[in-house]
Amino acid sequence: MNISIINSPFMVFRRYMFYLTSQKWDREKIESYQDEQLIKIVQHSAKNVPYYRSLFKEIGFDPDTFRGRVDMHRIPLLDKETLRTRQDEFIAENAQEYGINWDSTSGSTGTPLNLIMDNSTKAYKLAGVIRSYQWAGYSLGKKTFSIQSYTFKNSDSISKHYRFFNLWRFDAKKLKKDSALEVIQMINDIKPKIFIGYPFSIFMLTQFAKEEGLSINPFDSIVTAGETLSERRRELLEAAYGCKVFDFFSLHENVSIITECEHQTRHIFEDFAYNEIVDEYGKDASEQGIGELVGTGFYNYAMPLIRYKIGDTVVLDNENHTCKCGRKFKIVKEITGRQNDYLETPDGRFIGNVLEHSVDKANGVMLSQCVQDAVDHIYVNIIADETFNDDSIKAFEKGLRQRLGDEIKFDFKVVSQLERNKSGKTPFIISKIGHEYL
Ligand SMILES: [Zn+2]
């Protein structure tokens, strides 16, 4: 979602036209397309991707006998740890042919990961993003305001206007009280119709507006991304902005997009990736209807990921309801797993999941976690591997400084276990100071 506006509009347009057709497919057509794409990517991986070549040999898997969805269980699940430690082996030897765009991420686990998104995937993803915004009421040229984590060429600027798309982008990392008032002013002047961004940032604006007795110009719709949209937060946002809020889910690994249609029903983009759910033993959990989301992307030939364990828990609609929108894509009732805490900086900014990118360049960090115990103090818990050293800490600290500023003190601790929050999870951010905004 948070991808740069690319320079090959034709590639995007073609895929967008495809998506307009494929969203009308019946189940039979969806499933035969999935089988076709799975066979292609599995056979390509067997031939050109070192990791899969040796894995398939090791387990005695013959790609020529692979028939698609029914045979997926023959390929082992891929976990984040394996991808992180063996990233290079996932790059196809002929990756160059497909175009190499590096994309760094640390996801919600605080683990650095360098991924390649090839040209075709980039175009499919952007076309998919456009289709999903359209489900939420967007059309090309409609004034759009987006608040997410951006890096602008001029590092001092807090926002940027893209005239062609009628799009304004604001860097969520720079959200604090005075810049929030500036954003509210901008929104009231520009009067955008669509608001896209982190639910936390969008919510913060309403809090600042309330404190100052300001009103925010109404939107037609809001699309939230980057963290789980809880029903409570959806209700708060819908009440504050007087419009519908749509949830958008995707990830850098490009193995799943789940997004809401006009009727606020979450649909799996089954024409972008093949998604399964598994139980804690890795067995198919589709009958139970709840399990961990697993994804296989169809288009990323430069760095294919097959049966990748995403980490989020998904509840499927197992009663086979058909959505009023008429689309036959599978329905997801709930996605849980990306509910983030936030930190507060001494200069009054609130930093949520944008902090995750701080760890992108820290080698040897397997898992990490930032715990704030005072307004000017954070300690960082790190689970390290053997490549971890002083430079890893320096890179991590630099990443944190860029986002949190110079006034805050850090302590880095190598630990064997991360801390758990009240709900028993080990999130990247834990705040032990006040929470007036959650
Ligand atoms: Zn629908």
Q: What is the pLDDT of residues 104-162, one digit of tens each?
A: 776 556 667 889 999 999 999 999 999 999 999 999 889 999 998 888 888 788 899 99
pLDDT at 85: 87
Query: Ligand 1 centroid vs 122 CA: distance in angstroms?
Result: 25
Segment 178-214, tens digit of pLDDT: 888 999 999 999 999 999 998 888 988 888 898 899 9
Could you tell me which residue, 217 or 150, shows the higher pLDDT? 217
Please identify every residue whose CB atom is under 5 Å from ligand 1, which is an ion.
Answer: 261, 265, 323, 325
* Angstrom distance (rounded) from CA 317 to CA 266: 10
315 membership: H or E segment, kind and range: strand 308-316
pLDDT at 424: 63
Token output for 276: 């399964």
* Angstrom distance (rounded) from CA 9 to CA 379: 45
Query: Ligand 1 centroid vs 321 CA: distance in angstroms?
Result: 10
Percentage of the chain exceeding pLDDT 90 = 62
* Angstrom distance (rounded) from CA 399 to CA 151: 13
| Predicted confidence (pLDDT) at residue 366 exceeds the cutoff of 50 | yes
- In 106-189, beta strands by DSSP E: 113-117, 144-148, 159-162, 167-171
pLDDT at 204: 82
The answer for residues whose C-beta is within 8 angstroms of residue 60's C-beta and 6 or more apart is: none
Residue 228's identity, in one-letter code, is: T
Token output for 438: 């959650």
Other CB atoms within a 10 A radius of the CB of residue 123 amount to 23
Segment 308-350, tens digit of pLDDT: 999 888 999 988 778 999 999 999 998 876 556 778 888 877 7
Query: Ligand 1 centroid vs 420 CA: distance in angstroms?
Result: 36
Average pLDDT of 65-76?
98
CB 245 within 8 A of CB 239: no
pLDDT at 226: 82
Per-residue confidence band for 7, with pLDDT thresholds at 50, 70 and 90? low
| Predicted confidence (pLDDT) at residue 401 exceeds the cutoff of 80 | yes
The answer for residues whose C-beta is within 8 angstroms of residue 419's C-beta and 6 or more apart is: 369, 371, 381, 426, 430
- Does residue 177 sit in helix, strand or coil? helix
Token output for 160: 């940027």
305 membership: H or E segment, kind and range: none
Segment 28-44, tens digit of pLDDT: 999 999 999 999 999 99
Query: Ligand 1 centroid vs 424 CA: distance in angstroms?
Result: 33
In total, the chain counts a number of residues equal to 438
pLDDT at 328: 96
Taking each helix axis as running N to C, give the angle between helix 199-212 and helix 177-190, from 0 to 180 degrees, rounded to the nearest 10.
90
Percentage of the chain exceeding pLDDT 70 = 93
pLDDT at 340: 60
| Predicted confidence (pLDDT) at residue 421 exceeds the cutoff of 50 | yes
Query: Ligand 1 centroid vs 256 CA: distance in angstroms?
Result: 17
Segment 15-30, tens digit of pLDDT: 999 999 999 999 999 9
* Angstrom distance (rounded) from CA 250 to CA 130: 13
Query: Ligand 1 centroid vs 243 CA: distance in angstroms?
Result: 18
Other CB atoms within a 10 A radius of the CB of residue 46 amount to 18
Average pLDDT of 422-437?
72
Q: Which of 16-25, 244-253, 347-356 has the lowest mean pLDDT?
A: 347-356
Query: Ligand 1 centroid vs 328 CA: distance in angstroms?
Result: 8
Q: What spatial distance separates the first Cα and last Cα of the chain, rounded to whole Å?
A: 25
pLDDT at 353: 67
* Angstrom distance (rounded) from CA 124 to CA 130: 10
- How much is the mean pLDDT over the chain? 89
Could you tell me which residue, 253 or 108, shows the higher pLDDT? 253
Per-residue confidence band for 1, with pLDDT thresholds at 50, 70 and 90? very low
Query: Ligand 1 centroid vs 28 CA: distance in angstroms?
Result: 18
Could you tell me which residue, 9 or 192, shows the higher pLDDT? 192
**pTM of structure:** 0.82
Residue 266's identity, in one-letter code, is: R
- Angle 186-191-197 (CA atoms, 0-180°, nearest 5)? 70
Query: Ligand 1 centroid vs 19 CA: distance in angstroms?
Result: 15
| Predicted confidence (pLDDT) at residue 357 exceeds the cutoff of 80 | no
pLDDT at 434: 64
The answer for residues whose C-beta is within 8 angstroms of residue 85's C-beta and 6 or more apart is: 385
pLDDT at 235: 87
Q: Which of 90-94, 147-151, 389-393 has the lowest mean pLDDT?
A: 147-151
* Angstrom distance (rounded) from CA 21 to CA 114: 33
Segment 292-314, tens digit of pLDDT: 999 999 999 999 999 999 988 89
Average pLDDT of 209-223?
93
| Predicted confidence (pLDDT) at residue 264 exceeds the cutoff of 70 | yes
